[in-house]
Amino acid sequence: MTIWNLGSINADFVYSVPHIPVPGETLASTGRAVFLGGKGANMSVAAARAAARVAHIGAVGADGLWAVERLMEYGVDTRHIAEIDVETAQAIIAVDANGENSIILHQGANVQIPVNVLEQALNRAETGDTLVFQNETNLQLQAAELAVTMGLRVAYAAAPFDADAVMAVMAHLDFLILNEVEAEQLKDATGKGPQDIPVKDVIVTLGANGATWFGADGPVDVPAHKVTPVDTTGAGDTFTGYVLACLDRGQPMLQAMQTASKAAAIMVTRRGTADVIPDLADVQSFSG
Ligand code: ADP
Ligand code: NA
């Protein structure tokens, strides 16, 4: 089966700075690195590294062709990533000596994905495939509606969190994944806890405390592995990509989450994001 990921593709520009600039200040950076980022790209890479067939649906500008190349090198089908006349999404990240950061996000092409790109992609989908999306692109509701009519499994990773965005697609979802903070925000907005949400499978990730699956048989906890974290960015995206990949090849949820928990544990021991997501061989030899 195929995982269709309507997702963001960012160029992450990371600048090392002596301190986070204050209003009116001009500050020279002491270093710069450019990475592939965006929750969408991260999840595509994670699912591909977990050995799933993944087709990314998205858009970049002419300045983002390297990012598409990179996704392809990681095993993602990039034929449904449009090159459009809008700049590629950027995250301008300043990191100070203490590891504190500040981020400017420019959404660019991520929020101007042409609807015909989505339609052409999902026209190739087959019953039993999975659609996943996050809250970093346009077309979320259109994608969910189209996917339902085609018999796809519909999965939403509700980040960055927005209660209205969740409510808009809720009725179409088979699977919803949130972190602890997002689950709390959803409860504040709707009065509903994860066990009360009308979605078949809901997962709440709890960082170093693991993850809980709220399915038909009540909550099931999957512990995290004990590791020494050096960089937790991308842990959630890795977890989600792995769960979807394992489900796609027919594994039960519990087993999918156990594999994902290993992948995410490895991820927090590595500095970086998409470029360092572990592959299935790393995960299978992990004994944490
Ligand atoms: P997000 O990155 O979306 O906030 P979480 O922080 O909840 O997501 O992490 C997602 C998953 O990654 C967790 O369910 C857990 O399996 C794993 N994980 C996160 N932080 C750690 C950690 N410090 N040690 C081990 N595993 C972790
Ligand atoms: Na994270």
Question: Peptide bond preceding 160: is omega within 30 degrees of 0, i.e. cis?
Answer: yes
pTM: 0.97
Model confidence over 123-145: pLDDT tens digits?
999 999 999 999 999 999 999 99
ipTM summary value: 0.97
Q: Please name the residue whose Cα sits nearest to atom 22 of ligand 1.
A: 208
**CA 245 – ligand 2 centroid, Å:** 19
Closest ligand relative to 203 C-alpha: 1
Instruction: Report the alpha-carbon angle 48-115-70, nearest 5.
Output: 30
Which protein residues are within 6 Å of ligand 1, measured from CB?
179, 205-208, 210-211, 224-225, 227, 229, 232, 235-236, 239, 261, 264-265, 268
Query: So what's the pLDDT on residue 26?
Result: 97
Measured between alpha carbons, how far is 162 from 239 in angstroms, rounded to an integer?
20
Half-sphere exposure of 197 (CA within 13 A, CB side): 31
210 is in an annotated binding site: yes
Q: Please name the residue whose Cα sits nearest to atom 10 of ligand 1.
A: 236
Measured between alpha carbons, how far is 119 from 230 in angstroms, rounded to an integer?
40
Would you kindly state where each structural domain of the chain is located, as residue ranges?
Answer: 2-9+39-85+110-284
Measured between alpha carbons, how far is 257 from 187 in angstroms, rounded to an integer?
23
pLDDT digits (tens), the chain, 288 positions? 999 999 999 999 999 999 999 999 999 999 999 999 999 999 999 999 999 999 999 999 999 999 999 999 999 999 999 999 999 999 999 999 998 899 999 999 999 999 999 999 999 999 999 999 999 999 999 999 999 999 999 999 999 999 999 999 999 999 999 999 999 999 999 999 999 999 999 999 999 999 999 999 999 999 999 999 999 999 999 999 999 999 999 999 999 999 999 999 999 999 889 999 999 999 999 987
Model confidence over 159-172: pLDDT tens digits?
999 999 999 999 99
Q: Which residues pair with 106 in a beta bridge?
A: 90
Measured between alpha carbons, how far is 86 from 193 in angstroms, rounded to an integer?
39
Helix (H) or strand (E) holding 218: strand 218-222
Q: Which residues pair with 155 in a beta bridge?
A: 132, 175
Query: So what's the pLDDT on residue 23?
Result: 95
Query: So what's the pLDDT on residue 288?
Result: 78
| Tokens 């790393």, residue located | 282
Q: Which CATH architecture has domain 2-9+39-85+110-284?
A: 3-Layer(aba) Sandwich (3.40)
Structure tokens at 196: 């009360």
Helix (H) or strand (E) holding 162: none
Q: Taking Cα atoms as reference points, which of 66, 63, 13, 71 lies closest to residue 45?
A: 71
Q: Taking Cα atoms as reference points, which of 65, 43, 68 lies closest to residue 54?
A: 43
Query: So what's the pLDDT on residue 246?
Result: 98
Query: So what's the pLDDT on residue 149?
Result: 97
Which residues are part of the catalytic machinery? 237
233 is in an annotated binding site: yes
Q: Please name the residue whose Cα sits nearest to atom 17 of ligand 1.
A: 264
Half-sphere exposure of 238 (CA within 13 A, CB side): 30
User: Cβ of 10: how many Cβ atoms within 10 Å?
Assistant: 29
**CA 247 – ligand 2 centroid, Å:** 22
Helix (H) or strand (E) holding 144: helix 140-149
Q: Please name the residue whose Cα sits nearest to atom 18 of ligand 1.
A: 207
234 is in an annotated binding site: no
